[in-house]
Amino acid sequence: MKELLLQKMMFLEDEPEKPIEEPAEELAEEPIEEPAEQLAEVNIPEDRNEVEKQAEVPEEKYEKVDVPRKRTSACFSALFLSSGILTSVGCLAGSSASSSVGFSGSYIFNGIAHMTVDIRLVVFKFFELLAVNYPSSLLLYAEKVVCSDFNMIHSTLSPPYGFVKNATHAPRVSYHDYIIVGGGTAGCPLAATLSERFDVLLLERGGSPYGNPNISNLASQTNNLAYITPTSPAQSFVSEDGVIMRRARCLGGGTCINAGFYSRASRQEVMDMGLNPKLVDQSFRWVEREVVFRPQLTDWTSALRAGLLEAGVTPDNGFTYDHLDGTKVGGTIFDPAGHRHTAADLLKYADPARITVLVRATAQRILFRNVTAGGHRKKQPQAYGVVYKDLDGNIHEARLKQGSISAGEIIVSAGALGSPQLLMLSGVGPADHLRSLGIEVVLDQPMVGQGIADNPMNVLVVPSPEPLSPTSLQVVGIRPGYYIESLTGFSFGVGNSSSHTGVIVEKLAKPLSRGYLRLKNVDPEDNPSVTYNYFTEAEDLRTCVEAMQTIMRTVDTEAFSEFRYPNQTVEYLQNLTASLVVNNRARSPQDATSLEQYCNDLVNTIYHFHGGCEVGKVVDHDYRVIGVDGLRVIDGSTFSFSPGTNPQATLMMLGRYMGLLIGRGGK
């Protein structure tokens, strides 16, 4: 019996990860599948990946589903066998769910203590599914025990990445097929995918996210953004518009410092980007299998959801990753134990023999040489290497292998600020601007740094009579032109406890106002000068006013009344928020606050910067830098708009997507 049960669990331990099948060269465009409204039946297959997908249970409300009881019994028994403990769970082998369960929480804890991190996560999701379908108190208790253990092991164990090293240990010169600058939201999945076939070097200016509780713990999220040092995961700067900003400086990029919301780009956005829908869908699923979870709604977010619907932000789209008008529950990169998963987790798919990741490696410039273009005498620059500096100040060079079968490339994935900054520092940008700083011009490209944009954010602070625990972004109201979201558990300077303060956020979806980025100096570690020109387009201001009106209607609903003091009117909350110091912008001298003035005076950021190396202007549709050989830019700087409610889903997808295309040699 013991041997039989162990065999039934081998799909969790011994079967290798199955790669997502790559499509053929010619792919018919197919619509991206939506999660089904209801799942009448969930069968537990012999494929571990399918186990993880089914455990998500994507219907709007938990409903009882039919889990085959013999397999349920086998999985429970094998759970205990993994630590040498065989416990009877006969009630799940065929008796009713209300029968007493013959095990204790200590057995579960001891059982999972000997499992790998990957297997523990699968076990956790399995318990989550069982607790949904067999809601007995002991099963729910068992789920909590597993959740507690998962919480413990995630905070103490780092992924076993032997290929991640501090740049101080790097050789003076190294050679690779592909060199990626920027281990961020797009760079990590890109590097992991390319390493399936090529020798890859990934350079990241920040450190590792693992072992840092300010990154991994939801409750420490404010510390992650507040504690700024020369090496902290978040780097602070102020835009020329007077808005206080943060940019990521960590392996995993913005996924290490954001609020965690996961929402795919819409179908129309995918088409506008010129991407293949079928490969896009496969790439999204590759990401979601590892780092995305269904959030457990708090009372506050449940009230916000009901309030949005009552205020007319309809229809109710339930839980979905898709970007749909109305109100929905989205995915999150915070697991049920409150721990953050980042793009760095996707490096688990990398081939350790073909990848090197260097942290604390700040790129100084890209190296170019001139080559004959297309047999003509005209010289065209070709990228062949990257100069980078380690934390001790030592200079290193990474170069492309000569005569490599892959031909090799430098790929910049340093983000909407870092990528145009590095191109300019390397001599690719507006010639007059570069010469003014003493930078030798490699290519006069006036569009580098142009068209950069930010999605302006405005908020309404709501003191609550009910205690509020910190939450990630979980619910969004999507309207043409703007999105409504919320956060809780932070003080926001209103003088009361952070556990009694919430904030409702509106973000412009696709602002028309555009700005530009310039170098302040030639120091790669310094921030560039960025001007976003918020609300210079009248339509943006009109949209902000409409969004704030929607927030006020939502706060005034019966559904949200539990989280408002009855004597605090919407006008009071507006004036309270207006009294806060949220940016460095000059305020209007008028006492009366119109919503137009409110939007202008209190504009803030949600850190969704994009543009500066846009497709069609700086890079072509294959993300190759126009006028340069051997150089691509693959990140948010290539976007003309911020896709989805939060761009992180699309950026991680894009890294996987382009890695597959480049690896096939088709692009």
- CATH number, span 161-288+342-448+611-667: 3.50.50.60
The pLDDT of residue 221: 80
- Report which of 634, 615, 610, 641 is spatially closest to residue 626, judged by C-alpha positions: 615
Give catalytic status of residue 610 as yes or no: no
Nearest to 330 by CA among 127, 472, 126, 487: 472
Side-chain-side CA neighbours of residue 597 (13 Å): 14
How much of the chain is helix, strand and coil, in % rounded to 5? 35, 20, 45
| Predicted pLDDT of residue 524 | 97
Architecture of domain 296-329+456-509+535-602: 2-Layer Sandwich (3.30)
In Å, how far are 192, 337, 517, 633 from 630, measured between CA atoms? 20, 43, 24, 11
Q: What is the pLDDT of residue 75?
A: 40
For 159-231, where are the E strands, in sequence order?
Answer: 164-166, 173-176, 178-181, 200-204
- The one catalytic residue in 323, 341, 608, 610 is 608
Whole-number Å distance between alpha carbons of 508 and 544: 7
- State residue 139's pLDDT score: 41
Element (H, E) at 544: helix 538-555
Q: Can you read off the two tokens belonging to residue 542?
A: 């009109």
What's the Cα-to-Cα distance from 452 to each of 137, 148, 591, 665, rounded to whole Å? 53, 43, 33, 31
Mean pLDDT, consecutive 10-residue stretches, the chain (667 aa), reads 37 39 43 39 37 37 32 35 32 34 38 45 48 41 41 45 95 98 98 97 97 88 85 94 95 96 96 96 98 94 97 98 97 94 97 98 96 65 97 97 77 98 99 98 98 96 88 94 88 54 95 98 97 98 98 96 92 90 78 82 95 98 97 98 96 98 79
pLDDT for res 345: 97
Q: Nearest Cα to 440, choosing from 400, 525, 361, 381?
A: 381
Q: Per-domain residue ranges for the chain?
A: 2-20+37-156, 161-288+342-448+611-667, 296-329+456-509+535-602
- Integer Rg of the chain from CA: 26
